[in-house]
Copies of this chain bind each other. A is one copy, B any other.
Amino acid sequence: MTTPPEQGAILAMDLGGTSLSSGLVRPSGSVLATRCVPVGRSGGGDGVVRLLLAAAEDLRREAEHLGESVLGIGLGLPGAIDVRTGVIGEDIQNLPALRGLSIRRMLQERLGLPVAVDNDVNALLLGEWMFGEARGASHAAMLAAGTGVGGALLVHGRLVRGASGYAGEIGHIPVELDGPPCVCGSRGCVKTYAAGPDIADRARELARSGHSPGLLALAKGDPTRIDAPLVFAAAAAGDPGALGVVARAAQALGAAVATLVNLCNPEIIVLGGGVFEAGAVLLDPVRRWAERYAFAAPLRRTRIVRASFSKAGGIRGAAALFRYERGRPPGETAPPDIPDSQA
């Protein structure tokens, strides 16, 4: 990596299942402006594309206002981009309307700017690698637990997309052979224990069955009010039911961390996503389980840290993705711009 020139800004966008965060970000990672709009459920794929185009145009005007040249667009989204076809993969659970779209080509054509698109957690890891905790690492991994559980890998200083763009999905590895069914069609995935909605579901079941009066009291008698932050608060207050749910989430996340250590032996594992905002009540047992499951020698050399950027992490990641793609060495495979019969 060479030091980027401090001129111009990247239109950085982080598309989630419920909202689109966007911003103007310098190649150095500093954020000049931010926006956030909700993603409507109507309008399907076209609706989401219109939203992205509107956000890009809005940021372009902002850049003009600030006297900044626009370098291009970086976009992270919650799914895999097939590296052979450039198309959004079939496993995008949070935004099914985007399935099969060649979003990069569409944005490039409509906006006349270079565009880099990838999975949002790949972008987050690149953000940590360029601007945050993982700076200078040759081998790094990310585990992001929020609405889902995602991951990303960096090996020999390069993002690992794998043969078709699906690499890094640490949230969907089985940690229980006959574990609970997962939305992905498998069972016993890390996600089924540690994603926010799954943590809330388990706590609700406990509250409903009368096994956790403390949780029910915190939810003012209404189990539907229970969400993951409430479960962590109840656990921190010593509620046995909440402690049990958090313990199981920590055990699954510890197993995921150990899998990353024993399989990829990274220098650093970055833990991101809303679930880790629980803090020590989750992080401490995750570390203990990782010690239980991983080889001692590689674990001793692995820094396990919280993500550097909680708020603007997604757009910093999208900017890092753009910078990574534009500065990529000739040998590197990019998602190609091939004609997309489904678009």
Please give the residue numbers on chain A whose beta carbons come within 8 Å of chain B beta carbons, in ascending order.
Answer: 80, 82, 89-91, 138-139, 151, 153, 155-156, 158, 160-170, 172-177, 184-187, 248, 251-252, 255, 258-259, 261-267, 292-298, 301-302, 333
Contacts and interface: CB of A to CB of B under 8 A. Distances in A.
A267 B294 CA distance: 27
Given A163-B139, A263-B169, A265-B165, A177 B174 contact: no
A20 to B, nearest CB: 25
A139 B162 contact: yes
- Closest 8 CB pairs between A and B? A162-B265, A166-B298, A167-B265, A169-B262, A163-B267, A166-B265, A173-B259, A174-B255
Given A173-B259, A174-B258, A186 B266 contact: no
A161 B261 CA distance: 11
Copies of this protein in the complex: 2
Nearest to A170: B263
A65 to B, nearest CB: 42
A176 B155 CA distance: 27
29 contacts: A80-B297, A90-B297, A91-B295, A91-B297, A151-B263, A153-B263, A153-B264, A156-B158, A160-B264, A162-B265, A162-B298, A163-B265, A163-B298, A164-B301, A167-B265, A169-B262, A169-B295, A170-B262, A172-B295, A173-B258, A173-B263, A174-B255, A174-B293, A175-B177, A176-B176, A176-B177, A177-B252, A177-B255, A185-B296
B167 A296 contact: no
Nearest to A163: B267
A182 to B, nearest CB: 10
Contacts of A261: 166
Which of A174, A176, A297 has most chain B Cβ within 10 Å?
A174
A264 to B, nearest CB: 6
Secondary structure at the A interface, as helix, strand, loop or mixed, is loop
A275 to B, nearest CB: 18
A284 to B, nearest CB: 18
B82 A297 contact: yes
A79 to B, nearest CB: 11
Contacts of A255: 173-174, 177
Given A174-B258, A263-B151, A301 B185 contact: no
Contact of A156 (B80, B155, B185, B292): B155
A164 B297 contact: yes
A299 B335 CA distance: 19
B298 A262 contact: no
The winner among A156, A261, A333 for most chain B CB atoms within 10 A is A156
Contacts of A163: 138-139, 265-267, 298, 301-302
Contacts of A184: 295
A264 B175 contact: no
A186 B166 CA distance: 28
Contacts of A80: 297
A298 B265 contact: no
